[in-house]
């Protein structure tokens, strides 16, 4: 039975009781077998946890000295639509960006500061981040390939946002729920989220019971046969 009435209550439940492994297990059982982003997208700090709705951002590689003669006016602007995308972040949304080659940073300290002002939930980028010390001091949840200082300004531009994006075969639609922790980042499609989170809460609570029984001496085979969890 659904235990939340709005996103605030759902996010609170996820933060309090869930983690990517149990959510991924439920999606596996539902036939959604490819919902984790690639392993190289990691938290900048191991204790970082991110949860919120995706605000999808599409980036493309450019060559600054070649855009002057192009037909697309967006490519003539610094960062393309990146500043507009950043300013459009809503409370608890996660800036998730893909489309560029992994040759430069897609996120940094000033972007984090603006996202905090927007009350955003975090950032997940299919590439590197920079200004690592500043991001960590801001305590802003950031998931990326890791630190790399090379700037996007002359190398990449945001060409659209709030559009479907794909990261190594994982489709992310604007508004899907993202959850990230030390074990990775998973994507829960909006159309299945109610069932996923109802079942994930049930499984997480069952796992805590099984853990207690194993710690009390129950054998793994007996625990699985009784609870169906391992």
205 labelled as ligand-binding? no
Q: How far apart are CA 103 and CA 81, in angstroms?
A: 19
Residue 57 CA to residue 152 CA, distance in Å, equals 14
Q: Is 177 in a helix, a strand, or coil?
A: strand
* 80: DSSP letter: B
- Residue 218 marked as a ligand binder: no
Longest alpha-carbon distance in the chain = 72
131 assigned to a ligand binding site: yes
Q: Is 130 known to sit in a ligand binding site?
A: yes
Of 63, 224, 65, 46, the closest CA to residue 136 belongs to 46
C-alpha span between 122 and 115 (Å, rounded) = 8
CA 58 – CA 53 distance, rounded (Å): 16
Rounded-to-integer distance, Cα 70 and Cα 158, Å: 16
Which H/E stretch holds residue 220? helix 220-227
* 109 labelled ligand-binding: yes
- Residue 201: count other Cβ atoms within 10 Å of its Cβ: 22
The answer to whether 92 is a known ligand-binding residue is no
**Which residues sit in the known binding site?**
108-111, 130-131
Binding site for substrate: residue ranges? 108-111, 130
Q: Which residues are annotated as a binding site for Mg(2+)?
A: 131
């Amino acid at each position: 039975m659904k235990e939340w009435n709005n996103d605030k209550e759902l996010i609170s439940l996820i933060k309090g009781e869930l983690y990517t492994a149990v959510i991924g297990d439920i999606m596996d059982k539902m036939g959604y077998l490819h919902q984790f982003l690639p392993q190289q997208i990691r938290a900048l700090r191991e204790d970082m946890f991110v949860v919120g709705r995706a605000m999808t951002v599409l980036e493309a590689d450019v060559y600054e000295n070649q855009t002057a003669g192009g037909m697309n006016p967006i490519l003539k602007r610094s960062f393309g639509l990146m500043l507009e995308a950043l300013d459009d972040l809503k409370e608890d949304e996660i800036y998730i960006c893909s489309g560029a080659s992994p040759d430069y940073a897609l996120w940094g300290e000033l972007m984090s500061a603006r996202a905090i002002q927007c009350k955003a939930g975090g950032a997940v980028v299919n590439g590197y981040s920079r200004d690592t010390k500043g991001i960590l001091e801001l305590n802003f949840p950031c998931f990326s390939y890791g630190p790399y200082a090379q700037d996007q300004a002359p190398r990449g531009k945001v060409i659209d946002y709030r559009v479907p994006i794909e990261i190594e075969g994982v489709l992310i639609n604007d508004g899907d729920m993202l959850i990230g922790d030390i074990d990775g980042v998973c994507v829960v499609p909006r159309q299945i989220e109610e069932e996923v989170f109802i079942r994930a809460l049930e499984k997480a609570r069952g796992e805590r019971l099984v853990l207690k029984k194993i710690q009390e001496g129950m054998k793994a085979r007996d625990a699985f046969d009784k609870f169906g969890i391992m």
